[in-house]
Amino acid sequence: MAEPIAALRGATVDLAGRGALGPLDLIVARGEIVALVGASGAGKSTTLRLLAGLQSPSAGTVTRAVGPGRTGFVFQSPTLTPWADAQANVALPLELAGRPRAEARERAAAALSAVGLGDRLDARPSELSGGMAMRVALARALVTGPELLLLDEPFAALDSVTRRRLIEDLHALWAAADPRPAVVFVTHDVEEAVYLAQRIVVLEAATGRPVADLPTPCAPPRPARWRADPAYRQAVETTAEALEAAMTSQTAETAA
């Protein structure tokens, strides 16, 4: 494995009402794409917050080899400032970091062009479709040139066609970056996980512990019509079986 950009080692998180989450052991290498899958409540979002340095573990360690301001985070909703246009929304993290306004807006325009919104710089969030708003959120996360990009089910509310297009865009942006960022992507969708990621980490429903670490065939970006490839279909089935086993363990534990 390449040099780690972030790692959890024996990390636990005390959660009110359900006991401890973990222990979590997860290493994310520089430049790789990892998908986290698991049942609702398995701790996927908590794992992202630990990797981002937004939350401290109750025990264990979180190690991050990420430069200041070089972590990008995209949430389930775009969380755009409603009174600012797309360019101003994307420029915001640069301006908050002290970059000159002219430079920040120039870089924001380039980031929006990279996600296909170069002609919507002055559009307010209310004037954007759900897919366009998520592209703005993605551009905002990418504008700082992140070394670590964390995505918490960003496409869950979008239609399947828009989701596919955004995944293709994400692959293209990742492949074009030099150096490539590490990407950790949370999803409930097994097919999305297999298509997007180089490896898939399955979290146990009861504890949030990683219980399976599955590589996916064929390096991204994916070739045309790869979803029809038998290797893709087999990887989907293998991941679905691992996820079912991780969810069944909670059912068995509850019954006992």
pLDDT tens-place values along the chain, 256 residues long: 567 999 999 999 998 767 788 999 999 999 999 999 999 888 999 999 999 999 999 999 999 999 888 999 998 889 999 999 999 999 999 999 999 999 999 999 999 999 999 999 999 999 999 999 999 999 999 999 999 999 999 888 888 898 898 999 999 999 999 999 999 999 989 999 999 999 999 999 989 999 999 999 998 999 989 999 999 999 999 999 999 999 886 544 444 4
Residue 217, domain member (yes or no): no
Q: How far is CA 64 from CA 19, 23, 35, 143, 246, in A?
A: 26, 18, 18, 20, 28
Residue 141, domain member (yes or no): yes
Q: Report how far residue 153's alpha carbon sits from residue 73's, in angstroms, rounded to the nearest whole number.
A: 11
The pair phi, psi for residue 147, each rounded to 5°, is: -90, -25
What pLDDT was estimated at residue 253? 47
Per-residue model confidence as pLDDT tens digits over 36-79: 999 988 899 999 999 999 999 999 999 999 988 899 999 888 99
Structural domain boundaries, residue 86: 81-146
Residue 91, domain member (yes or no): yes
Residue 101, domain member (yes or no): yes
Residue 237, domain member (yes or no): no
| Residue 144 · residue 160 · CB < 8 Å | no
| Residue 25 · residue 36 · CB < 8 Å | no
| The dihedral sign for the CA sequence 216, 219, 225, 230 | negative
Count of beta carbons in the 10 Å neighbourhood of residue 73: 20
In total, how many domains does the chain have? 1
